[in-house]
Structure 1
Amino acid sequence: MITRLKKAAVVGAVATLSAAGLTACMSDGNDENSDTIRIGSTEADKSQWQVFEQKAEEEGVDVEVVSFTDYNVPNQALTEGDLDVNQFQHIQFLAESNVASGNNLVPFGASQTFPMGVYAKDFSSVEEIADAGDVVIPNDSTNQGRAIKVLASAGLVTLRDDELLTPTPADIVTEDSDVTVTPVDASQTAVAYNDGQAAVINNNFLESAGVSANDAVFKDNPDDPASQPYINVWVTTEENKDNEDYQKLVEIWHSDEVQEAVANDTAGTAVKAENTPEELEDILADTEQKIREQESSDE
């Protein structure tokens, strides 16, 4: 669902964030509503956010959820002070954004993770997928890299370096692997599945494939340290990370009412994450360092 940020893309996004562009998402009068916490989300229309707003009101917390359709914009809006916090991204996306833009946004709470799985209509085991010899994967760099790591965890492919954050098909040691990979647009992984091929499918395309997360032949483990960069997080600026009102947002998100709405919105694919802010910052720092190292090795 989320594509890897490139430096040029971030620069372009910043350059096009005109006053008119932001006004389309933002309302005036921030000074008059200084007690309102403005939250950026790319899924503001989901019931989870409606329940969250209701719960926040009950708790005496004044929030406004601001909707975005471009994943590159909420972090820049947060940096420029048009938002107080955002909640739409996992740590790896945040790390790539920070490294590319030079910003220093930080996580102050976890929301959930979405395990990525391998699905197959005609195969019920990893061994049967290995015998078939091919797996379709999404071709955008973040999801492609994660899909390849899922296949490596399943023992279906061998990587030249297990520490690569976003491996590509070129990083697969083909002679030591049981399957080859065919990268396609993420939306086409569901089509491949329905055509009888094994496929790694993003959670947001499971419905179109006609499968549930429970149908996965294999999926990554959210408790595995290798899955930590895919924890979705609440994010703010460095100077506001200890804001007690913001911590209240995390508590509200983890309430039973909101979690029930999250489960309904995601067809049960979301797994609640409760890492501490300190743990999340450590994961972010490690992920940023790996991104810089991989970029240096690619130059």
Structure 2
Amino acid sequence: MKMKKYLSVGLAAVALLVLATGCGKNDETGVSAAGQTSEQERTTVKLGIIGADTDVWDSVQARLKDEGIDLEYVQFTDYSQPNTALASGDIDLNSFQHQFFLDNFNEEHETDLVSIGNTVNAPLGIYSEKISDIAELKEGDKVAIPNDVTNGGRALILLQSAGLLTVDEAKQQAPTVSDITDNPLNLEIVELDAAQTARALQDVTVSVINSGMAVDAGYIPANDAIYLEPVDEKSRPYVNIIATRAEDADNDIYQKIVAAYQTDETIKVIEETSKGSSIPAWETFGKK
């Protein structure tokens, strides 16, 4: 009888030891008894961007770490690539374009990519290494603009707002060079890939350069542009966005990324890194 009693006590002790040992390990969900997130629970999201400047996204990434989300940057060199990669599933999100550009891409390629959050409004600028004021432009001077439909049209509208030419109003936000109705100085419009507009400054009198390309080239748009795009209600189509595939629009992880971006902490980094050249769009135009 005593032996059976000792055996029962021994088995109970072993059971307690196993239970105690198990409590110190991660369970099947990957969460320890202390509530710490394990590596098994972490989610990596591939984010497509243009250029090398990741300062703003780095600040967002730091906040996402605590939620078990890791951003993997996939860097592209021109505007034709990130949406193609997103549509094919090679990346999960991208952040490089405005709404008008996305709408045009969807129409041309029969894709279904959508915006899930506004990021910044980055005014387009006119830059020059030869003159310091647009009033110095002369007859026949060369003007470089991006050659894609959306940014090219935006550039022509910018030149119109600067009083340099007039475009057909019927074309709304997508005029082309052939839609110029008045060009008093007979400016020679040179259409280039957006990535080449900054490099062309030695060969043209002025160049219309997207904000991100200008920053990558070492310019501070608010200081170095000789003319900067006005920011008003007409700027809404040019608000930069975070995009994904339509079927993933409500993905909880992606929504957390948008929420982590649209914060006061991000505003501070945007102001510091852009020197006031980029404007937090969710404050002016809404979160989405």
Global fold match (TM > 0.5): yes
Q: Percent identity at matched positions?
A: 30
1:144–1:183 Cα contact (<8 Å) kept: no
What residue is the counterpart of 2:145 in the other structure? Answer: 138
Q: Deviations over 1:13-42 (max 9, x none)?
A: xxxxxxxxxxxxxxxxxxx97862513222
Mapped partners of 1:109, 1:253: distance in 2: 9
What residue is the counterpart of 2:166 in the other structure? Answer: 158
**Residue 170 (structure 1) shift:** 1.6
**Residue 65 (structure 1) shift:** 2.2
**Residue 156 (structure 1) shift:** 1.4
**Residue 198 (structure 1) shift:** 3.2
Structure of higher CA gyration radius? 2
RMSD over aligned Cα atoms: 3.5
2:124–2:211 Cα contact (<8 Å) kept: yes
Alignment map for 1:20-99 (pairs within 5 Å) = 36=43, 38-43=45-50, 46-58=54-66, 60-69=67-76, 71-99=79-107
Normalising by structure 1, we get a TM-score of 0.66
The AA in structure 2 aligned to 1:141 is D
SS at match of 1:156: coil
- Specify which of 117, 120, 125 is matched with residue 117 of structure 1: 125
Alignment map for 1:201-280 (pairs within 5 Å) = 201-206=209-214, 211-213=219-221, 214-225=223-234, 227-266=235-274, 268-274=276-282, 275-276=285-286
**Residue 233 (structure 1) shift:** 0.7
Aligned residues: 243
- Structure 1 runs not aligned, ≥5 long: 1-31, 281-299
Q: Deviations over 1:105-125 (max 9, x none)?
A: 111100112211123456554
Mapped partners of 2:186, 2:211: distance in 1: 22
The AA in structure 1 aligned to 2:226 is V
The AA in structure 1 aligned to 2:224 is D
Mapped partners of 1:194, 1:137: distance in 2: 11
**Residue 78 (structure 1) shift:** 3.6
Mapped partners of 2:157, 2:251: distance in 1: 36
1:120–1:193 Cα contact (<8 Å) kept: yes
Instruction: Call closer, same or farther: CA 1:33–1:135 in 2, change over 3 Å.
Output: farther
Give the structure, 1 or 2, with the largest relative contact order (CA under 8 Å, sep 6 or more). Answer: 1
Instruction: Call closer, same or farther: CA 1:152–1:38 in 2, change over 3 Å.
Output: same
1:112–1:271 Cα contact (<8 Å) kept: yes
**Residue 87 (structure 1) shift:** 2.0
**Residue 248 (structure 1) shift:** 2.7
Mapped partners of 2:247, 2:216: distance in 1: 42
What residue is the counterpart of 1:294 in the other structure? Answer: none
1:158–1:172 Cα contact (<8 Å) kept: yes
Mapped partners of 1:82, 1:206: distance in 2: 27
- Specify which of 165, 172, 176 is matched with residue 180 of structure 2: 172
**Residue 134 (structure 1) shift:** 3.1
- Structure 2 runs not aligned, ≥5 long: 1-38
Mapped partners of 1:65, 1:40: distance in 2: 6
